[in-house]
Amino acid sequence: MKSFEYITRILNISDMLSLQSQFVFGARQTGKTSYISRQMEGMIDLHIDLLESRERTRLERNPSLLSDEIRALDKNKGLIVIDEIQLVPALLNEVHRVMEQTDFTFLLTGSGVRKLMHSGVDMLGGRAGQIIFHPFVYPEIRDKDFSLEHIFRTGLIPKIYLSDNPGRLLSSYWGSYLLLQIQAEGYVRNIPEFTNFLTFAALSSGEQINFSNIASDTGMAVNSIKSWYGILSDMLVGYEIPAFTATKKRKAATVSKYYLFDVGVIRSILDIAAPGENTSEYGKFFEHYICHELVSYIDYNGGDHRNRGLYYWRTQTGIEVDFIYKNQIAIEVKTTRQVNDRKDLKGLRAFSEEDICRKYILVCREDRKRKTEDGIYIYPYRTFLEELWEGKLLSVYKA
């Protein structure tokens, strides 16, 4: 079996732990466990992995064993790591008790929040922060065979991005992991119908979600569709981008868009080849990738994943801007190598008439950054990503 190179992740969890205990939530295989073993080596006093069936069974039967094991450390301060905490939610009551009686800090990872939220257990009463752990982001892979074509073929889940055979791993990811976890944890009773929904969610990823229209098109119940989108969000494999509605000159759409979290997974669900440059799917995947970088940057820099402040804008006549951040910066994404001044800047110019944002950006595949006479910045996508992660864009406009 091929051994994969470990790529250092940009997120600094240690700094966040110096402030308080942390939940670290992220979809499976995004690298949480590898991060802990590679980037936190020597810092951990006790590490419990609930994916190990014997460990999980032991603590399910008697959660108080956690307190006994911590007591056996014969100290009052240190770091306790529990992997996949959602598998034994009752442990959170013990964690809370230890936190009240000692100075131990906890790092609690999970690949979903649904079971925790619906279990009725104590979520530590604000004593722990929440970190969302994403697949690879640009600073981690810019020197590691980075290209749009590579990303569109493999996606950004670390093991799959680094694999010589991404197709097999992608198929296994959603066919074996995603569906089996949903079935095992009892989230969905009708797996075949949910599988059909998942195909629809992949096909319409990045588009507006109108539950009634989806129900009419697919023959599925509206309540089921709402519940299933909620499951995807709770498993951290998808997220909403709400509509920006605070415009006066043009009436805006009000329904959210929904994005699945990884273009490789989308491609695998749909069973399509990596898109070529001149296809509509290429533009769709490019928009998804930029969305991933924006969402990850916001989450990694103190944003609230439940309300990121990231929106899209679309008028009832179809004029659109892909992303708006906290009423401050508007971003349109195009795959073009030569911007058409009239066609490609139409949405940004229309939105600029509302006089809401301070900066307007078109992200594309031109070679050089430039600025139009009316103040719109044209960014080559790699320049945009460099400035984004250097804190020169969104960080300037944090509320």
| 287 pLDDT above the threshold of 90 | yes
CA distance 252 to 254: 6
- pTM tops 0.85: yes
**220 and 255, same structural domain?**
yes
Last residue of a domain, one of 91, 117, 132: 132
Please indicate whether residue 301 or residue 113 has the higher confidence score (pLDDT).
Answer: 301
CA distance 29 to 16: 22
pLDDT value of residue 121:
66
pLDDT digits over 163-173, tens only? 999 999 999 99
**251 and 107, same structural domain?**
no
pLDDT digits over 308-362, tens only? 999 999 999 999 999 999 888 999 999 999 999 999 999 999 999 999 999 999 9
**199 and 51, same structural domain?**
no
| 398 pLDDT above the threshold of 60 | no
Last residue of a domain, one of 107, 132, 157: 132
**203 and 290, same structural domain?**
yes
Looking at residue 197, its amino acid is F
pLDDT digits over 147-201, tens only? 999 999 999 999 999 999 999 999 999 877 777 777 776 677 788 888 889 999 9
Average pLDDT over residues 268-292: 95
Average pLDDT over residues 287-310: 93
Q: Spell out the alpha helix ranges (H) of 127-262.
A: 138-141, 148-154, 158-161, 166-172, 179-184, 191-203, 211-218, 222-234
The answer to whether residue 115 is domain-embedded is yes
Taken in order 159, 165, 166, 170, the sign of the CA dihedral is negative
Q: Percent of the chain, pLDDT > 90?
A: 79
Q: Crossing angle for the helix pair 211-218 and 191-203, nearest 10 degrees?
A: 120
The label of the residue with tokens 């752990």 reads 133
| 262 pLDDT above the threshold of 50 | yes
**35 and 169, same structural domain?**
no
Residue 133 contacts residue 113 (beta carbons within 8 Å): no
| 125 pLDDT above the threshold of 70 | yes
| 2 pLDDT above the threshold of 60 | no
Average pLDDT over residues 391-397: 71
Element (H, E) at 291: helix 280-300
pLDDT value of residue 176:
74
The answer to whether residue 319 is domain-embedded is yes
Last residue of a domain, one of 90, 117, 132: 132
Average pLDDT over residues 12-31: 94
CA distance 239 to 223: 18
The answer to whether residue 286 is domain-embedded is yes
| 214 pLDDT above the threshold of 90 | no
Can you say how many angstroms the Cα of residue 118 is from the centroid of all Cα atoms in its chain? 21
The answer to whether residue 142 is domain-embedded is yes
pLDDT value of residue 399:
41
The label of the residue with tokens 């031109």 reads 366
Kindly state the DSSP code that residue 176 receives in the 8-state scheme. I
- Computed over every residue of the chain, the mean pLDDT equals 92
Count up the domains in the chain and report the number: 2
The answer to whether residue 1 is domain-embedded is no
**268 and 222, same structural domain?**
yes
Taken in order 79, 84, 89, 91, the sign of the CA dihedral is negative
**393 and 345, same structural domain?**
yes
CA distance 187 to 327: 36
CA distance 98 to 45: 14
**385 and 316, same structural domain?**
yes
The answer to whether residue 62 is domain-embedded is yes
CA angle 198/133/193 to nearest 5° reads: 10
Question: Which residue range(s) make up the domain with 367?
Answer: 138-397
**320 and 210, same structural domain?**
yes
**379 and 311, same structural domain?**
yes
Partners of 108 in beta bridges: 23, 82
Other C-beta atoms closer than 10 Å to the C-beta of 140 total 21
Reported as a pLDDT band with limits 50, 70 and 90, residue 1 is very low
**223 and 118, same structural domain?**
no
Coil/strand/helix, residue 368: coil
Q: Where are the beta strands (DSSP E) in the chain?
A: 21-25, 46-49, 79-83, 105-110, 128-132, 207-208, 238-241, 257-260, 310-314, 320-325, 329-333, 359-364, 370-371, 376-380
pLDDT digits over 75-121, tens only? 999 999 999 999 999 999 999 999 999 999 999 999 887 777 766 66
